[in-house]
Amino acid sequence: MILIDGKKTAQEIREELKKDIDKLKSEGKDVPGLVAIIVGDDPASKIYVRSKRKACEEVGIRTKTEEISSDIAETDLLKMIDNYNYDPAYHGILVQLPLPEHIDEDKVIEVISPKKDVDGFHPVSVGKLVIGKDTFRSCTPAGIQELLIRYNIETKGKHVVVLGRSNIVGKPIANIMLQKQEHANSIVTICHSAAPDVSYYTKQADILIAAIGVPGFVKADMVKEGVVVIDVGINRVKDSSKPKGYRLTGDVAFDEVAEKASYITPVPGGVGPMTIAMLLKNTYKACLKYSK
């Protein structure tokens, strides 16, 4: 069994990006800029945004964080985002989700210019992804494909089974792996909560991608020998032996499934760090493509 080290791979990507950005600087060109907008004070969101900002600073991406009170009117937030659409200092706009209830998430996602949509959530980005055009791809799915590439895992003609149909992970990763392109070209099944017998599908997987948010859902008797397992779950499970009172665990019962897997990602240290690395990559790409 080979453990897929997302932390190390993400670090490699960041070092590559740092070199690319240093080169832009030395040529006197514009460096990438990312504005992160956070509404309210959800503690998990704050931690995510802080990590994103730190990662940007490390590779030389200019960054700004807008911390907005949760009682901002929807129209004011939309206006603020739209102003950044015209601000040449920022090539990427990231609005951390979830948003407070009185704000329509769809409206927020749609007001971001597709040229600055480094999260890949805009319907234009999603549509281009589905029809196989170059676009910004949602960061976690892009990170999953990058791990498969960097670990030389064959995908052509392989059966990829995706557990979960979210707009952020399940649907985009299924569409990425489906494309008639290098590092994809897979046979794809999307499995979700309405499946009468999930095992029927998971047992067929050459590559199993679990993104349902149920701790330890995938057990050893649900997979075949030699399966490649990508665990996207980041679940907080109560654990009084830990200083914070909880530990992070994936959607896969790691110890038992690892015994049958040919490759497996751990949680933490698997897919998680790749999400931020791909956000940086998308921001760099936005700068190259659309910098004035």
Q: Which is nearer to ligand GUN, 96 or 202 (CB)?
A: 96
Told to check if 95 binds ligand GUN by CB under 6 A, we report yes
Of 139 and 160, nearer to ligand GUN (C-beta) is 139
Contact residues for 164 (Cβ-Cβ < 8 A; gap 6+): 170, 190, 191, 192, 210, 211, 212, 213, 232
Site string for ligand GUN, 258-287 (x = CB under 6 A): -----------------x------------
Q: How near is the Cβ of 280 to ligand GUN at its closest, in Å? A: 13
Question: Which of 5, 119, 206, 231 does the annotation list as catalytic?
Answer: 119
Residue 239 among the catalytic residues: no
79 is catalytic: no
Stretch that binds ligand GUN, among 90-98, 128-136, 185-193, 201-209 (CB under 6 A): 90-98
Site string for ligand GUN, 223-262 (x = CB under 6 A): ----------------------------------------
Count CB atoms within 10 A of the CB of residue 226: 11
Segment interacting with ligand GUN (CB under 6 A) among 95-103, 157-165, 253-261, 265-273: 95-103
Nearer to ligand GUN, 3 or 248 (CB): 248
96 binds ligand GUN (CB under 6 A): yes
Q: Which is nearer to ligand GUN, 139 or 147 (CB)?
A: 139
Q: Is 52 a catalytic residue?
A: yes
Among 4, 56, 93, 94, the residue binding ligand GUN under the rule CB under 6 A is: 94
Nearer to ligand GUN, 14 or 158 (CB): 14
Q: What residues act catalytically?
A: 52, 96, 119
Residues near ligand GUN (CB under 6 A): 94-97, 119, 139, 168, 275
